[in-house]
A and B are shown apart, each in its own frame.
Chain A
Amino acid sequence: MADTLMPGSQAAINADEMEGLSDKPKSFGRLAFDRFVRHRLALVGVFGLILIAAAFIVGPWISGYPFDETNVRDRMLGPSASHWFGTDEIGRDLFTRTARGGRYSLVIGLVAATLATVFGTLMGAIAGYYGKAVDAVIAQFINLILVVPFLLTLALFSLRFGSTWWRLALVLAALLWTRIARIVRGIVLSLKEQEFVMAARAAGASHMRIVLRHILPNVIGAVVVEVTLLVGTVIVLESTLSFLGLGVKAPDTSLGLLVSDAKSKIDDDPIRVLTPGIMIVFIVLCVNFVGDGLRDALDPKSKLEKN
């Protein structure tokens, strides 16, 4: 009896293990990571961003030209071994300038998106948690920001306060926090009625502690996705502003400004418009791939198989 019983139960345990039933359940973070890693496009996005950031940082050293060094003998050159992206009409190396502009785009995108997210999350959490008058005031404030065209506010700020990259990032963040605030507010509205918040309050936790320790961790998933997509929005907006002459100003440069410089020569040299233009498209594409991957990975309802 004992001889026959033991192998039997052993086999049952093995079968359980094979189906993964006896495994310790994976944490949400671990599951999300697994899903993200299996999301091929998201990996392409991460890899693309690392590659392009590295090229922008290291590239200018290798090319060996300062971004503002003029050389009248080598002006309006096409792409070649010595000037990878060619030169502009006063002989500045366009690869170095593209790398410098691209670095601004990436930095402004990251800084503005991060600031907007932090501020938006806080405002959304406050509006949702306190409700009533506080909520109404914040909602009207958001409507006020949305009713004035972004371009107008951005232009006026850039006229008044100049346009160094961090000021640009600050203004963009000041305009773009509203969407995140609305999303966070919605989540917080439904969360605050749940039992664990009541339990925390019954245990004597302060409002601040409830918001920071109990509510915000539940919001992070949605916010992480939004911040990624926001990086793409910021990069497009910043390049558009610079293109219109309202963003980064000469002698410094940015991707939008490079397109704008090349615009007047587009009939002779269409490639010169394309190089910075494609850089913007490539960066935004990679950022959106990462955002899409994060959305799938952080959605508790999505399955591991589907990618």
Chain B
Amino acid sequence: MFAYITRRVLATVPLLVVALYLVHVMVSATTDPLADFRLCLPRCQDGFDQIVENYNLDVNLWLRPFTWFESALGGDLGRSESLGLPVTTILWDRGINTAMIAVPAFLVGSIVALLLSIYSARRPYTKGDYALTGLSFIGFAFPSFVMALVLQNLLAVQFENWFGVKPFNTGRKTGENFLELARDVFLPALTLIIVGVAADSRFGRASMIETLNQDYIRTARAKGVPEKTVVWKHALRNALIPLVTLWALNFSALLSGAVVTESIYSWPGLGPAFLTSIGEADVDLVLGIVIFSAVLTVAFNLVADVLYGILDPRIRFD
């Protein structure tokens, strides 16, 4: 098992290095941090030189990534020019903010999606199933920015107009106690939950229906195993295997920052930082976020693989 994990991690390193190199070259080639300075050149020579130094612009485009790799190996991911902070500090602070909405959204969303898909799969092609499937179809068709804007307007602005109280905040306030924090977190988390549940429950329903049609389920029922045990033990454990992959992908994606949702709710997470870094040609921050999300993806895929082995002991790692 340990050898397997080591091998998997080592296999992703070259891929990540190539990806980071290409991203560095792409960002450097498409953006010009000197654009503003060129116009005023004789006067602002000092600022010009400072930018050249900060971005290593005197080094050839194709060689520039190597200076970055050199310092990154020493644990220094560089400094974000747009936010004026070290990249590691930004990843840590913003990562915590993102986790504040990502963790509740993932936990609640996954559990709700699982319960709904079990409900649907136990009575396929009935009214209840059609209602849920219809809702998930509609939710799935909503782009997250439309969903976020609708929820924000409905539950924060219009709600205040109608009832005179504002139940939820939009954006991260400085509230310290738990209730204030919950008011901050609620709307962005709810947006992510609705969008996620709509996507997951269709997948979960299909996986659960397929499992419930297997022969061993019929055998279990035939020998008189109670329906509860059949569904929650025999079927669920097997239906979970494809879902675990989906959860690993979802959770790593959520933790890397929901760009659209966080931006709309002005949530100071990784998503808006990523948008800023692209807009401002902030190479170090772009690379920092790319590494961050890649490491998360690899890590959670490994967790998913380990969970496979627990759910289905027949699966061997070799």
Please give, as numbers and ranges, the residues of chain A lying within 8 Å of B290 by CB-CB distance.
147-149, 152
- Closest A residue to B256 by beta carbon equals A149
- Segment with Cβ contacts to A, from B26-34, B60-68, B222-230: B26-34
Interface string of A274-295 (1 = CB under 8 A from B): 1001001110110011000000
Segment 125-180 of A: residues with Cβ below 8 Å from B: 140, 143-144, 147-149, 151-153, 155-156, 159-160
* Interface: A72 (CB within 8 A): no
Q: How far is the CA of A288 from the CA of B138 in the complex (A)?
A: 10
* Interface: A270 (CB within 8 A): yes
- Segment with Cβ contacts to B, from A4-12, A111-119, A190-198, A235-243: A235-243
Interchain CB contact (< 8 A) of B137 among A140, A240, A285? A285
Please give, as numbers and ranges, the residues of chain B lying within 8 Å of A266 by CB-CB distance.
149, 153, 157
Q: How many residues in B have their beta carbons less than 8 Å from beta carbons of A?
A: 39
**Are the C-beta atoms of A239 and B143 separated by less than 8 Å?**
yes
* Interface: B120 (CB within 8 A): no
**Are the C-beta atoms of B146 and A280 separated by less than 8 Å?**
yes
**Are the C-beta atoms of B153 and A256 separated by less than 8 Å?**
no
Residue among A147, A232, A256 with the highest chain B CB neighbour number at 10 A: A147
**Are the C-beta atoms of B141 and A288 separated by less than 8 Å?**
yes
Shortest beta-carbon distance, A73 to chain B, in Å?
28
Residue among B15, B145, B278, B294 with the highest chain A CB neighbour number at 10 A: B145
**Are the C-beta atoms of A148 and B31 separated by less than 8 Å?**
no
- Closest A residue to B154 by beta carbon equals A270
**Are the C-beta atoms of B30 and A288 separated by less than 8 Å?**
no
Interchain CB contact (< 8 A) of B15 among A143, A155, A239? A143
Shortest beta-carbon distance, A52 to chain B, in Å?
13
Judged by DSSP, the binding face of A is: helix
* Interface: B275 (CB within 8 A): yes
**Are the C-beta atoms of B275 and A147 separated by less than 8 Å?**
no
- Closest B residue to A267 by beta carbon equals B157
Please give, as numbers and ranges, the residues of chain A lying within 8 Å of B137 by CB-CB distance.
285, 288-289
Given contacts A152-B278, A277-B150, contact A240 B294 (CB under 8 A): no
Interface residues on A, range: 35 or more
Q: How far is the CA of A37 from the CA of B284 in the complex (A)?
A: 54
**Are the C-beta atoms of B31 and A159 separated by less than 8 Å?**
yes
Please give, as numbers and ranges, the residues of chain A lying within 8 Å of B289 by CB-CB distance.
149
Q: How far is the CA of A236 from the CA of B290 in the complex (A)?
A: 23
Given contacts A149-B290, A159-B31, A306-B125, contact A259 B141 (CB under 8 A): no
Please give, as numbers and ranges, the residues of chain B lying within 8 Å of A156 by CB-CB distance.
26-27, 30, 278
Q: How far is the CA of A149 from the CA of B27 in the complex (A)?
A: 13
Please give, as numbers and ranges, the residues of chain B lying within 8 Å of A140 by CB-CB distance.
15
Please give, as numbers and ranges, the residues of chain A lying within 8 Å of B19 by CB-CB distance.
144, 147-148
Interface string of B282-318 (1 = CB under 8 A from A): 0000100110011001000000000000000000000
**Are the C-beta atoms of A259 and B278 separated by less than 8 Å?**
no
**Are the C-beta atoms of A240 and B143 separated by less than 8 Å?**
yes
Please give, as numbers and ranges, the residues of chain A lying within 8 Å of B22 by CB-CB distance.
144, 148
Segment 230-271 of A: residues with Cβ below 8 Å from B: 232, 236, 239-240, 243-244, 256, 259, 263, 266-267, 270
Can you identify 22 A-B contacts, CB atoms within 8 angstroms? A144-B18, A147-B19, A147-B297, A148-B19, A148-B23, A148-B290, A152-B286, A152-B290, A156-B27, A156-B278, A243-B145, A244-B259, A259-B145, A259-B149, A273-B150, A280-B146, A281-B138, A281-B142, A284-B140, A284-B141, A285-B137, A288-B137
| Additional A-B contacts beyond A243-B260, A284-B143 (9; CB < 8 A) | A152-B290, A156-B278, A240-B144, A240-B145, A259-B146, A280-B146, A281-B141, A288-B140, A306-B125
B binding-site residues for A, Cβ under 8 Å? 15-16, 18-19, 22-23, 26-27, 29-31, 125, 137-138, 140-146, 149-150, 153, 157-158, 256, 259-260, 263, 274-275, 278, 286, 289-290, 293-294, 297
Ranked nearest first, the 10 interchain pairs of A and B with the lowest CB-CB distance are A277-B146, A284-B141, A285-B141, A160-B30, A155-B278, A147-B19, A236-B143, A281-B141, A156-B30, A243-B145
